[in-house]
Structure 1
Amino acid sequence: MAGQRVRRVAAPLRTQVLEALRQDVLAAEFEPGERLVEARLCARYEVSRTVVREVLRQLESEGLVTTVPNRGPVVTELTAADAEALFEVRGALEGLAGALFAERATAEQRERMGKVIRRYARTHRKAELAERLAMKDEFYDILIAGAANPVIDSTLRGIHARVQMLRGLSLRARGRGPETVRELTAIHEAAAVTADAAAARAACEEHVRNAAATALRELAAQHPGPHVG
């Protein structure tokens, strides 16, 4: 299994390995529940055990890695119930963030939101999953900053870290790309152009609701069985 080769450039080595392993997890190079063996990771990324351990601790804090007794670190495996709970809270918070953005965002933040959504619309069909996730992260950075609420900032970022793998499932789903463009465009129109707080809240909630339905469907396809939640 070939991973991303870590380039020894200006960025700290730990940061490079963290980004490489994070992207490999999100791209399903490692399966949910798979053990992350230190020796194999050292060989894969050509770094020391110290660096690997630091990276694994960081990814555990983000919710992408779970330490299991007698097994060690494994890729986090979310159940349908876990996913539903996360999306419920995410929808409520993103709806509030959208409403606050409409009321509080600066002209620069409104312009930046439009730019990233237009870039996503132009490139999402050909972009790699990592690129699409990066653009979505940029969109959320702008949305959260424009909401100007530190509690939403810290809480929503923590939730986003835990749903990253589910976001990858949603973005990879057939037909989801054009739907995402439509939904993000609606958020931008309401939150940044017309500054309609109620419409912005509704658009954000719809986006999360549709993303949740797609991710849960993909999750069920990976793990057939009785519905949980």
Structure 2
Amino acid sequence: MGIAESLRVERAPAPIRSRVLDNLRQAILDHKLAPGQRLIERELVELTGVSRTSIREALRELAAEGLVTTIPNKGTIVAQVTVEEARQLYRVRSALEALAGQLFVENATDAQRRALTNAFRAVERAATKGPIVWLAAKDNFYDVLFEGGGNDALRSIAGTLHARINLLRSLSLTRPGRATESMAELAEIVAAIAANDADAAAKACSQHVEAAGMAAFSALTQEAAG
């Protein structure tokens, strides 16, 4: 399917704004809109068949997600991340999620523990439904994990980082077998929490991020070489 076919918005009962956003997001994650590519509103209007207002609203949301950025005198472009920037982001994320796992074991209520198990099961069910659905399910898993830790400052910092790392998360899934590995790593986090082992939970969270980082670095390196 070409870029025009993938972006075209069909008239349907669902809000047009949501479908424009979904189509643009998917095109970015699939690299049909490549990192560094300039996004011209007039061209996106022609490709999608919707109004300029809908395009602008979608671009604002994508900017909040960290998938596009605005550069003075250049306009809006698809976000791009270097290998070194990715390395720094994943190193910080590893530390934050290790702390989140530890705090969850120490502070989560029984209801939050059940919610985390349910969130993990939702991730398992979403595994065959494509990267956007699967990553959304993983987002919910992490929301429960950070909420159960009871540290608002940690949640806020992680949320800011999450927006910058969105594109890398999708990129890491392009490595063959990564999705299966990721599920096994999440299972280790859940098992450590079920065992009430804060140290093991922290380690499992950290290792999961490090493995995702290695997959993203590999994909970025291949992109640069190609």
Q: Does 1:87 align with 2:90?
A: yes
Where do residues 38-53 of structure 1 align in structure 2 (5 Å cutoff)?
Answer: 38-53=41-56
Length-normalised TM-score, structure 2? 0.89
Deviation track 1:166-223 (CA, whole Å, cap 9, x = no partner) reads 11111221011221111100101112x1221111111100000111011101110111
Q: Distance in 1 between matches of 2:27 and 2:184?
A: 28
Runs (5+) with no aligned partner, structure 2: none
SS where residue 28 of structure 1 aligns?
coil
**Does the 8 Å CA contact 1:129/1:168 hold for their aligned counterparts?**
yes
Pick aligned residue for 1:73 from 73, 76, 80 = 76
Where do residues 54-133 of structure 1 align in structure 2 (5 Å cutoff)?
Answer: 54-124=57-127, 126-133=128-135
Where do residues 1-229 of structure 1 align in structure 2 (5 Å cutoff)?
Answer: 1=3, 2-4=5-7, 5=9, 9=13, 11=15, 13-124=16-127, 126-191=128-193, 193-224=194-225
Deviation track 1:100-129 (CA, whole Å, cap 9, x = no partner) reads 1111122222222222323433552x3211
Q: CA deviation at 1:72?
A: 1.1
**Does the 8 Å CA contact 1:86/1:159 hold for their aligned counterparts?**
yes
SS where residue 225 of structure 2 aligns?
coil
Length-normalised TM-score, structure 1? 0.88
Residues 1:177 and 1:199: Cα distance change in structure 2 (over 3 Å):
same
Range 163-172 or range 206-215, more displaced: 163-172
Q: Distance in 2 between matches of 1:150 and 1:43?
A: 43
Q: Distance in 1 between matches of 2:153 and 2:11?
A: 36
Q: Distance in 1 between matches of 2:223 and 2:38?
A: 18
**Does the 8 Å CA contact 2:68/2:78 hold for their aligned counterparts?**
yes
Range 84-93 or range 132-141, more displaced: 132-141
Q: Distance in 2 between matches of 1:94 and 1:73?
A: 31
**Does the 8 Å CA contact 1:90/1:156 hold for their aligned counterparts?**
yes
Q: Distance in 2 between matches of 1:16 and 1:109?
A: 32
Deviation track 1:75-104 (CA, whole Å, cap 9, x = no partner) reads 011001110111011111111111111111
Range 74-83 or range 131-140, more displaced: 131-140
Q: Distance in 2 between matches of 1:106 and 1:10?
A: 37
Q: CA deviation at 1:20?
A: 3.3
Q: CA deviation at 1:8?
A: 5.2
SS where residue 67 of structure 1 aligns?
strand
Residues 1:65 and 1:8: Cα distance change in structure 2 (over 3 Å):
same
